[in-house]
Structure 1
Amino acid sequence: MPQPDQSPSGTAWAEPLLRDVFPDAEVTAVLPRTGGQLSTVYELRCADPAHCAIFKVYAPEWAWKQAKEIHVYRLLADLGSALPVPQVLHHTPARAPGGRAVTILSLLEGRPLSEASKDLDAAQIPSFYRQMGAALATIHQIGQDAYGYVTDRILDPRPDNGTYMRHQFAKKLTEFKTLGGADRLHDAVARRIERDGALFDNCRAAALCHNDLHEGNVLVAPGDAARVTGIIDVENAIAADPLLDLAKTDYYSLGRGEPERNALLEGYGPLPADAAERLDLYRLYHALELWDWFRSIGTHGPLDSIAADIARLACRRTDTPS
């Protein structure tokens, strides 16, 4: 695929696709935006600002993710103005250079909090986490009839949270061992699940979970009325315990502290009586999953720090404050 270019010559591949949505669109620039491991994201700027859009281009082996994202964004759109998410304007298989599938999304105001935070006072960050908590609570209003990985349906659906989470921990522990993780950590996690896994059964209903709501996937407009303007990237969506989702946002708030955690939980609203214990157990799951992911893609820098998190969380007692 050609490298994106801010000159008109770099727009030739994009303009015909955008004209499926806006027949008179004139693309003036194709700019790279923050993307994931599985797809590339571009902002299309146009002579008429009303025609500007986001293009998400999928590598051929991940084209199936397109149907998933369309399905999840449309579920979230049913929430109306309560949740700022991109609108799916158009989608087409294998139309981009290299035969890649493309989804065209509406362009939302703002930039990722992960970028904007560099220019903000630390005292402003909790406000965004409070809004992130409220956004998660809104997403979790969408109930699901089973637990599992979401595409345009639930794959390998599990009937209850206990079955689902024990399966997930077993899978991630197997990956951990295969990838060369320390036996002592593997065994410590297994013991923690054996001891405290009954907590999983306290979740009685699955909800749609974003499952990746970290600062890179939250668009913000800083200023006097600092606000979240967009929730993006639903590639990892699952049907699960809402607290699993909340715990991931908390665990992935790397470098943040108690002000952000307290704001996140305050924004989310009332929690079940066992929330502290369940959240703690789910943080362990996310640490294990993240270690497996980084190790599998050859990113070694964070592994020791994550392993320390695994060791700490695996040894927690359920009566220990989170």
Structure 2
Amino acid sequence: MSSEAPLQLKPRLAISVDQAQAMVRRISPNASVLGVTELRGGEISTVVEIALADGPTCILKAYPEALQWKMAKEVLVLGLLQNLGTAIPKILLADDTRSVIDLNYVLMTRLDGTVLGRREAALSEAELLAIYAEMGAALRRINDVTLDSFGYIGLNGVWTAHPSNHAYMSAQLDRKLTEFGTRGGDSVLAARLRDRVTAQQHLFEAATVPRLCHYDFHAGNVLVTSQGEPHLTGIVDFENATSGDPLMDIAKALYYFTEKDAPKREGLLAGYGPIARPDWQQTLDLYRMYCTLELWCWMAQIGKHDALADLTRELANGV
């Protein structure tokens, strides 16, 4: 394994009422803070709810020291989605001055609803199919946003822009396979994965237009009505957004589904609509391998080594 220290995520900070007051008064001089509550969820950033006496509750999101640039990225991506047709957070304040807390943070509007993941266990198969169909339709609208080049989105747009999806994914896979080896991954397995990429890389060529991908579209980042029949009320957390192939976004959305999650898969694909691509199922399988490789490298980077054995088996079973 690499001797590199694990990446530190989710800042350990307690936001006081006085600090929250200083933040919200930059956007509403007469606002009065009633309380501050840290919210569950979110692996990277600390997310806090700020209740106001005379206004709507807002959300504070603070970014870890090593990933301060993600603040500007989230502001950029949310700006691309103002006409999405599904509620997304509106940025009220983006602060990189570190005058109140020693981290970059944003204040955002709080969306209505509850996290889908908290309701799923009580939903019927028909309800799961229906809500995932709504999600699929929303994902398609996200993917309808086009950009100028393929690549990962950074604080000012696409970082290391690539002229084609083939060029982008070839570079990404080479980088992740190299990282796999550097962080202690099996060299024989890495060689087998490279062989698979070489044999199937032509599948990347079918994506010719760079499109916005949420790339973390799951039940933890989707809000739905709190009671009764679930309906989509909002989408959050665009930290991982990229400019790429929509099939990569779909593959990531389907990644954690098991056989028992068939209604979710069927609903998401039905809501997304027809995929006019040759070999799209095969392409999804290739992107799934990439997602697994990427997750392996991420878990190694943040020090969650107990997750690597299962991910290694998944990689080995796919080649």
* Structure 1 length-normalised TM: 0.89
Report if the CA contact (8 A) 1:57-1:96 is conserved: no
Paired residues of 2:78 and 2:238 also in contact (CA < 8 A): yes
CA contact (8 A) 1:2 1:97 kept: no
Q: Which residue of 1 aligns with 2:152?
A: 149
Give the 3 Å change call, closer, same or farther, for CA 2–211 of structure 1 in structure 2.
Answer: closer
> Structure 1: where are the runs of 5+ without partners?
5-9, 316-322
Query: 8, 27, 32: which is aligned to 2:33?
Result: 27
Give 3-state SS (helix, strand or coil) of 2:234's partner: strand
> How many matched pairs?
306
CA gap of 1:174–1:256, structure 2 versus 1, over 3 A, is: farther
Identity %: 36
Q: Aligned pair 1:116/2:122, yes or no?
A: no
Asked if the contact 2:211–2:243 (Cα under 8 Å) also holds between the matched residues in 1, the reply is yes
Quote the residue 2:94 is aligned against.
91
Task: Tell me by how many angstroms 1:128 deviates.
Answer: 2.6
**Contact kept? 2:127, 2:229, Cα under 8 Å:** no
Tell me how far 1:39 sits from its aligned partner.
2.0
User: For residues 118 and 283 of structure 1, what CA distance do their matches in structure 2 show?
Assistant: 25
**1:318 alignment partner in structure 2:** none
CA contact (8 A) 1:218 1:230 kept: yes
Any residues of structure 2 matched to 1:191-210 within 5 Å, and which?
Answer: 191-210=195-214
Quote the residue 1:103 is aligned against: 106
Q: How far, CA to CA, are the matches of 1:247 and 1:290 in structure 2?
A: 13
- Cα distance in structure 1, aligned partners of 2:241 and 2:143: 11
1:226 aligns with 2:237: no
Q: Pairwise CA RMSD of aligned residues?
A: 2.0
| Alignment-derived partner of residue 81 in structure 2 | 76
Q: CA deviation at 1:308?
A: 2.3
Structure 2 unaligned regions, length at least 5: 1-11
Q: 1:179 — aligned with what?
A: 183
Q: What are the equivalent positions in structure 2 for 1:1-322 lying under 5 Å apart?
A: 2-4=13-15, 10-48=16-54, 50-77=55-82, 79-80=83-84, 82-95=85-98, 97-121=100-124, 124-151=127-154, 152-253=156-257, 257-271=261-275, 272-313=277-318, 315=319
Q: Which contiguous aligned blocks of 4+ residues in structure 1 show a shift greater than 6 angstroms?
A: none
| 1:61 Cα deviation from its structure 2 partner | 3.2
Letter in 1 for 2:218: H
1:99 Cα deviation from its structure 2 partner: 2.0
Shift of 1:118: 4.2
Give SS of 1:302's match.
Answer: helix
Deviations 1:47-75 (A, max 9, x none): 23x33101111233322211111010010
**Corresponding residue SS for 1:94:** coil
Q: Does the aligned pair in 2 maintain the 1:96–1:102 contact within 8 Å?
A: no
**Which structure has more strand as a fraction of its residues?**
1
Q: Distance in 2 between matches of 1:168 and 1:288?
A: 11
Which protein, 1 or 2, shows the higher relative CO under an 8 Å CA cutoff with sep ≥ 6?
2
CA contact (8 A) 1:25 1:51 kept: no
Moved more, 66-75 or 89-98: 89-98
> How much has 1:312 moved relative to structure 2?
2.3
